[in-house]
Amino acid sequence: MQIAANKAVSIDYTLTNDAGEVIDSSAGGAPLVYLHGCRNIIVGLEKALEGKQAGDELTVTIEPEEAYGEYSVELVATLNRSMFEGVDQLEVGMQFHASGPDGGMQIVTIRDIEGDDVTVDGNHPLAGQRLTFQVKVVKVRDAEAEEIAHGHIHGEGGHHH
């Protein structure tokens, strides 16, 4: 069975950056299970997997625009410490939910703290990076109607309600 829209796909993968450093991997764990065509994974990887089937292996390099986007300086802001009401200890690397430029919620990460100035970054940690995936397709099956309706996979390796 080939990978196409509304197929439940299981993949083993290793993700590296341009320096060859491993960023993430399913090695030693369960395969990643996703619903193809529902933007459960980055668009560049989804495009590369289209038409593949169980047993296929590929290495694909994804440019930032088809991964987590280009790095945007507009998503970096310096806020006053008072904006973090109820948080006693702020540390670089902490993440918070905040209102994004489009009015929706986004995650921001504290990048720097100088006195009462707290610099936050709303970019995805992998924004602006070229990513290389080594992938092996483990399984492809028809997604269940409920999975399609919910836009994600249920059960083993997928989302549990």
Is there a domain that residue 158 lies in?
A: no
Same domain? 64 vs 142: yes
**C-alpha gyration radius of the chain:** 19
Please check the confidence at residue 66 and state whether its pLDDT lies above 90. Answer: yes
| Mean pLDDT for the stretch of residues 16-44 | 96
Whether the pTM exceeds 0.85: the reply is: no
As for how many domains the chain has, the answer is: 2
List the CATH number of the domain containing 143: 3.10.50.40
Regarding whether 59 and 24 lie in a shared domain, the answer is yes
Residues in CB range of 141: below 8 A, 6 or more apart: 1, 7, 8
Range of the domain at 115: 73-121
pLDDT tens-digit readout, 137-157: 999 999 999 999 999 998 765
Q: Please check the confidence at residue 47 and state whether its pLDDT lies above 80.
A: yes
Task: Give the residue-averaged pLDDT of 7-21.
Answer: 97
Question: Residue 123 in contact with residue 65, Cβ under 8 Å?
Answer: no
Q: What percent of the chain has pLDDT over 70?
A: 96
Question: Does residue 81 share a domain with residue 42?
Answer: no
Asked whether residue 44 is assigned to any structural domain, the reply reads yes
Is 160 part of a structural domain of the chain?
no
Mean pLDDT of the chain: 93
pLDDT in tens, 68-123: 999 999 999 999 999 998 898 999 999 998 877 777 888 999 999 999 999 999 99
Decide if 1 is inside a domain.
Answer: no
Q: Angle at CA 147, nearest 5°, toward 145 and 149?
A: 70
Considering the domain architecture, whether residues 57 and 78 belong to the same structural domain is answered as no
- Residue whose token pair is 């924004």: 127
Q: Where residue 109 sits, what CATH number does that domain have? A: 2.40.10.330
Residue 12 lies in a domain: yes
Mean pLDDT of 26-50: 96
Q: Which of 141, 132, 133 is nearest to 53 (CA)?
A: 141
Q: Cα–Cα distance between 110 and 107 in angstroms, integer?
A: 10
Q: What is the pLDDT of residue 161?
A: 47
Domain contains 155 = no
At CA 31, angle to CA 25 and CA 35, rounded to 5?
A: 110
Say which residue, 131 or 88, is predicted with more confidence.
Answer: 131
Considering the domain architecture, whether residues 107 and 142 belong to the same structural domain is answered as no
122-128-129 Cα angle (round to 5) = 125
Same structural domain, 13 and 89: no
Distant-in-sequence, close-in-space partners of 90: CB < 8 Å, separation ≥ 6? 81, 84, 110, 113, 118
Looking at residue 156, what is its pLDDT?
Answer: 60
Residue 2 within any structural domain of the chain = no
The pLDDT, as a whole number, for residue 5 is 96
